[in-house]
Amino acid sequence: MIKLVDVHKSYGKQKVLDGLNLAIEAGKTTVIIGRSGGGKSVLLKHIIGLIKPDSGHVLIEESDITRLSEKDLNEVRKKFGMLFQEAALFDSMTVGENVAFPLREQTKLKDQEIRQIVADRLRAVGLSGVEEKMPSELSGGMRKRVGLARAIALHPRIVLFDEPTTGLDPVMTEAINQLIMDTQKNFNLTCVVISHDIQSIFRIGHKIAMLYEGRIIEYGTPEEIRASDNPVMRQFLSGSVDGPIKVT
């Protein structure tokens, strides 16, 4: 489904991705974990073509998006939905207009039908009837759910989540996790989730990948990850200060 082959990316002298290889399976939820500022968001943006790698290939269903023109890239992007860290709702638009935005851009549906779909998606994330509110009137959790509704508005096959539970209370975290799992199952999605919330990753991930120093150092099912004897993995899971990961 999604394949990253030998991807390099550096900003100035700092190597963020250093020969990264990763294959993401279709119809599953893959969680990518790693240190804060360790290049997880950069990795995610490579998958959707927001950032082009210095070298290497990003294959989405066999097409190498690093070589596509803007126009062809947009065709590929129509398969994607993405939930941003702070939801990235357009604050000049109402919630309804936000969710309707991809529909208006990519389809020729009538107003009536668009309203129908918007109501439907908002119901799917448990937020019926907030169409007329402005994003600034919503709480963090609600914004994320609206962001999810917008991400799945066009029935994408792949949804990317950039730290969906960061900054939420435990109850809301659980609600969002539940929502991701339900959505994944109901729409049969391929999900890529970035997180460093240990509890969540084991709950939602079918597969887990550990990003460390620009490469994937561990990849497997939650059980395999839990049983891993890689010292970096162990330190990350236990949250200890001592170990190969240096706190600077």
Partner 1 sequence: MKPFSASLDYVGRTVMHYVEEMGRIMTLFFSILFWMMRPPLKARNIFKQMEFVGVKSIFVVVLTGLFTGMVMTLQGYHGFRLFGAETMVGSTVALGMTRELGPVLTSLMVTARAGSAMAAELGTMRVTEQIDALYVMAANPIKHLIVPRVIASVLMVPLLTVVANFVGIAGSYFVGVNLLNINEGDFINNIYKMLELNDIYSGLVKAAFFGLVLSVVGCYKGFNTTGGAEGVGRATTQAVVISSITILVSDYFLTAIMF
Q: Contact positions toward partner 1, by CB under 8 A?
A: 45, 48-50, 70, 74-75, 77-78, 80-82, 84-86, 88-92, 101-102, 105-106
Q: Which is nearer to partner 1, 74 or 139 (CB)?
A: 74
In order of 49, 66, 79, the CA distances from 69 in angstroms are 11, 9, 16
* Cα dihedral 103/107/109/111 (nearest 10): 40
Distance CA 187, CA 158 (A): 10
The least distance separating partner 1 from the CB of residue 135, rounded to whole angstroms, comes to: 10
The least distance separating partner 1 from the CB of residue 236, rounded to whole angstroms, comes to: 26
SS3 for 221? Answer: coil
The β-bridge partners of 162 are: 194
The least distance separating partner 1 from the CB of residue 115, rounded to whole angstroms, comes to: 17
Q: Which is nearer to partner 1, 103 or 204 (CB)?
A: 103
Q: Which is nearer to partner 1, 37 or 239 (CB)?
A: 37
Q: Which is nearer to partner 1, 148 or 233 (CB)?
A: 148
In order of 31, 221, 225, 239, the CA distances from 229 in angstroms are 19, 14, 9, 15
Q: Which is nearer to partner 1, 160 or 232 (CB)?
A: 160
The least distance separating partner 1 from the CB of residue 43, rounded to whole angstroms, comes to: 14
Closest CA to 208 of 8, 22, 13: 22
Angle at 113 between CA 112 and CA 115, to 5 degrees: 65
The values of phi and psi at residue 219, to 5°, are -145, 130
The least distance separating partner 1 from the CB of residue 168, rounded to whole angstroms, comes to: 17
